[in-house]
Amino acid sequence: MDERQTDEMTDAMLDQEIERALAVDPSPEFLARVRVHIATQPARVEWWSWPMVVAGAAVAVAAVVTVLVWRPGASQSDVPRAASPSIAAMPLEMPLISAPPDVAGLRREQSTQASTIARGAVIAAAPAPADRSTPHEPEVLIAADEAAALRRLMRATWTNSAAPAALVAAGTELAALEPFEDLELAPIREIAPIRIEPLQLAAREEGVRQ
């Protein structure tokens, strides 16, 4: 009982002691000092900050767009197509696979078809200056021996003398897999020229990222 009373008294005394220790008032000039200090603070004008917020947002958006467009390692397909000329309007000046001079007439007839082939497969073994002027075209690299074989095949087709034996003689491995001896190729009498018309695309339809 005495112990408990002593404890309770100690609690009360402790609280009193703490209150006494904290019963300190600020100096009389404290309030005035705070008022002066606050009065010297720069005024807060809320509507002033809106232009800053808008400007900051614009800068952030510009930075994001710049990073997206110019990010390192971006493929050429990511570059906006508006900067490159339209494919449909491009002049068909891709170099044709070299043909013998005696088949110039046939070449003119089939130039459209050959151009289509040449556009899809630019032969790396014989790059032309025109290739460098169209950097947005995808470059397809093929082996030199394959290019030579393809030239022979085209030449034989144009001259109607597609002899399978000649192709085999060229030493292609393909001949070993598929013997051509039994093939009989009918000579191509006439091939109707394929007409490729430029696409009628609106300017805005190009360059849309899929």
Partner 1 sequence: MPGFTTEIPATLVTVDQGLAREFETRLAESSRLAFRVAYGVLRQREDAEDVAQEAFTKAYRSFAQLRDRDRFRAWLVRMTWRLAINRQRSNRRRMSREEGPTAPSPEPTAADTLVARERARQLWSAIDALPEKLRVVIVLAGIEGHDVREVATLLKLPEGTVKSRLFFGRQRLKESLRWMNGRPTK
What φ, ψ does residue 16 adopt, rounded to 5°? -65, -40
Tell me whether residue 24 or residue 203 sits nearer to partner 1 (CB atom): 24
Three-class SS of residue 167?
helix
Following CA atoms 81, 82, 87, 92 in sequence, which dihedral angle do they give, to the nearest 10 degrees? Answer: -120
Q: Does 54 bind partner 1 (CB under 8 A)?
A: no
Q: Among residues 18 and 169, whose Cβ is nearest to partner 1?
A: 18
Number of other CB atoms surrounding residue 179 within 10 Å: 10
Dihedral, 106, 109, 110, 113 alpha carbons, nearest 10: 180
Interaction of residue 41 with partner 1, rule CB under 8 A:
yes
Report the SS3 class of residue 45. coil
> For partner 1, which residue of 1, 2, 4, 25 counts as binding (CB under 8 A)?
25
Least gap, CB of 4 to partner 1 (angstroms):
13
* Burial track 40-78 (b if 16+ CB lie within 10 A, e otherwise): eeeeeeeeeeeeeeeeeeeeeeeeeeeeeeeeeeeeeee
Q: Does 30 bind partner 1 (CB under 8 A)?
A: yes
Stretch that binds partner 1, among 20-28, 55-63, 174-182, 188-196 (CB under 8 A): 20-28
Quick check: 32 binds partner 1 (CB under 8 A)? no
Of these, 8, 34, 68, 85, which contacts partner 1 (CB under 8 A)?
Answer: 34
Can residue 15 be called a binding residue for partner 1 (CB under 8 A)?
yes
Of 24, 52, 89, 202, which lies in the binding site for partner 1, with binding defined by CB under 8 A? 24
Binding site for partner 1 (CB under 8 A): 7, 10-11, 14-15, 17-19, 21-22, 24-27, 30-31, 33-35, 37-38, 41, 44-45, 47-48
